[in-house]
Amino acid sequence: MSKWIRSLSVFHPARRGARVFQKSLCAGLAAVVALAASGCSSADRDDALTTVKPQSNVSASSPGVSLSSISLAANVGDSFNPYTAKTLVNSTLFPLLYDSLVKLDAKLAPQNALASKISVSGSTCTVTLKDGLKFSDGSALTAKAVVYSANRAKSSPLYGGRLKNMASVSANGDKKVVFTLSRPDRNFASLLDFPIVKEETAKDSKSTPVGSGRYTLKSQGNKNYSLEYNTRWYKKADPKFKTISLVAPPDDEAIMTSVKTGNVALMFSDLSKGEIGGIGAATQPVALNNMIYIGINSSNGVLQSPEFRSALSFAIDRKAVLSKGYSGRGTATYLPVNPLFDLNETLTGDEFPGYNQQKAGSMLDALGYDKTDMSAVRLNGESPITLNLLINGDNNYKVLTANAIKNALREVGIGINIVTEKDFDAFSSKVKSKNFDLYLGETKLLFNMDISDFWRTSPLNAGISASEELKNAYTAYQNGSGTYAAFAKIFAKETPFIPLLFRSGIVAYNRNIQTQIVATPSDVFDNITDWK
């Protein structure tokens, strides 16, 4: 079941299920790297779907001092067990220690890692492992380890959401794993990037499981740790940094200061608290699956009409909202799917949602709201149509986005009154009790793009009106008997909620890293073995 979440993410961006308004233990920092330079101090040295990418502020080929060593941040008071760890910084290290069946690339597509083949048919997903896989201790990595890991993952807070549709998992010999699903999901392979660990080595929070990743964890005693390159890694790389020290920054403020002064080389931020000013480092966007949307209370007055809700959607320019609200950091969308995700379909035609204020005005006129008051606000009878837009104003992104929405709807004669709740609990209480006309929401979708919680029993369905036709069309898409286009046409007609954009995070890194950084949703250190 989806949960409401505050604006800050606790864990790595690829590691959550579909949730809304997320609580935080950290300030959005997922990874930090400190560096040492030879002989120098660090101080020396859309139509329907539109992608808007923020630009790096410096080329990765900028001249710098050659690095002799690097260090990664860790929380030594937390566990290195991926199924019990609680901190963001440690969860970001896990892709270095533990391989997975797949890894998501920068376009959110699953790429085989430990898996050599994945087939999904109805409610069954069959995974075939690569030949000759070994854990770092030299033991064979077989299907039994995948079964063990999948069951541990499903019961963990970090990975449980993505495997909630897994009814059972079993081994078929040493190389085949069979996942049985509670309901068909054509995109289930996108959820298979959970860590694979050796059987019986991830029993509790004190356990450090045996993995098969690029590095292994070594303890020097007294809570001093390092990462050592795993010579048994299946890709057989030759990294420059075969030993990586782990350091424990005292707090997030110290980390941020170190980034600004150049003493820390790389960090990931999901930008959940808004823009980070004055980093003084190169940056690259990192795709997230956090959808920003307008929730609609379909039981309230004019909002009961699907045509009225659809007119609101046509009136809002998503590019403008992305630019004005989120500084261009993300991807604009008119449909509830991340535009980076490959649907293997072409969605074109007037039946799909898009930005068209003239059409929005004509639709409102046809509904009988063709007269306005002295302020050019449309009238419903003798009353001006003014809707309350509820927001949790805990960061400037949300405030700016709300104002962009207000201005867009004002252009077609709809008044908006922004209701700001600084306290998250007060905001969530109003949403739960449907004390809103519209609300500005955020939910982190699973990477199979499942949105069915919007019409199931979950916090996401507050105020939602979804017909059986819509639900059935989405089920048909998920089970492979229907197309996304068929669902999208019905979604556009009913507009149960209004998708706006999928926001992104950033990797900020020191200019002395001479390699083009590759940071993906599954792994912000994707090409660390190539770093120079």
Which CATH number goes with the domain that contains 405?
3.10.105.10
User: Quick one: which H or E segment has residue 247?
Assistant: strand 243-247
How far is the C-alpha of 303 from the C-alpha of 493, rounded, in Å? 13
Q: Tell whether 369 is covered by a domain.
A: yes
Q: Tell whether 238 is covered by a domain.
A: no
Q: Tell whether 466 is covered by a domain.
A: yes
Q: Tell whether 192 is covered by a domain.
A: no
Greatest C-alpha distance within the chain: 78
Name the amino acid, one letter, at 98.
Y
User: Count of alpha carbons within 13 Å of 287, Cβ hemisphere only?
Assistant: 21
Closest by CA to 309, choosing from 387, 394, 381, 393, is 387
Phi-psi label, residue 422: left if phi above 0, alpha if psi -120 to 50, beta otherwise: alpha
Q: Please report the pLDDT score of residue 59 as a whole number.
A: 35
How far is the C-alpha of 277 from the C-alpha of 311, rounded, in Å? 37
**Would you call 72 helix, strand, or coil by DSSP?**
strand
Q: Please report the pLDDT score of residue 35 as a whole number.
A: 39
415, β-bridge pairs = 386
Q: Please report the pLDDT score of residue 282 as a whole number.
A: 78
Q: How many structural domains are present in the chain?
A: 1
Spell out the alpha helix ranges (H) of 224-332.
Answer: 252-261, 306-315, 318-326
Q: Please report the pLDDT score of residue 261 as a whole number.
A: 65
Q: Could you tell me if 422 and 393 are in contact, meaning their C-beta atoms sit under 8 angstroms apart?
A: yes
99 Cβ neighbours under 8 A, 6+ residues apart? 113, 114, 195, 196, 211, 212, 213, 233, 234
Closest by CA to 146, choosing from 122, 119, 164, 172, is 172
Exposed/middle/buried for residue 366 (C-beta within 10 Å: 0-12, 13-18, 19+): exposed
379, β-bridge pairs = 384
Q: Tell whether 463 is covered by a domain.
A: yes
Give pTM, 2 decimals: 0.87
How far is the C-alpha of 493 from the C-alpha of 472, rounded, in Å? 15
Q: Tell whether 228 is covered by a domain.
A: no
Q: Would strands 102-104 and 383-384 be described as parallel, antiparallel, or unpaired?
A: unpaired
- DSSP tag of 459: G
The predicted-structure confidence for 219-247, as pLDDT tens digits, reads as follows 988 888 999 999 999 999 999 999 998 88
SS (H, E, C) 285-306: EEEEEEEEEEEECCCCHHHHCH
Q: Tell whether 497 is covered by a domain.
A: yes
How far is the C-alpha of 112 from the C-alpha of 129, rounded, in Å? 9
How far is the C-alpha of 180 from the C-alpha of 165, rounded, in Å? 9
User: Count of alpha carbons within 13 Å of 478, Cβ hemisphere only?
Assistant: 21
Structure tokens at 374: 């002295």
The predicted-structure confidence for 247-294, as pLDDT tens digits, reads as follows 887 776 666 666 666 566 677 888 887 776 666 677 889 999 999 999
104, β-bridge pairs = 110
List the 115-121 sheet strands across, edge first.
Answer: 115-121, 124-129, 176-181, 166-172
Q: Which domain holds residue 437?
A: 288-504
Name the amino acid, one letter, at 29.
L
Q: How many angstroms separate the Cα of 312 from the Cα of each of 220, 410, 501?
A: 60, 10, 16
Q: Which residues of the chain have pLDDT under 50?
A: 1-63
378 Cβ neighbours under 8 A, 6+ residues apart? 364, 369, 370, 371, 372, 384, 385, 412, 413, 414
Cα angle value 355/361/366 (rounded, 5°): 130
User: Quick one: which H or E segment has residue 281?
Assistant: none
Q: Tell whether 325 is covered by a domain.
A: yes
Phi-psi label, residue 461: left if phi above 0, alpha if psi -120 to 50, beta otherwise: alpha
Closest by CA to 89, choosing from 213, 252, 253, is 252
Q: Please report the pLDDT score of residue 48 as a whole number.
A: 31
Structure tokens at 405: 């929405």
Spell out the alpha helix ranges (H) of 6-113.
Answer: 88-97
Q: Please report the pLDDT score of residue 16 as a whole number.
A: 39
- DSSP tag of 477: H
Structure tokens at 78: 């937390």
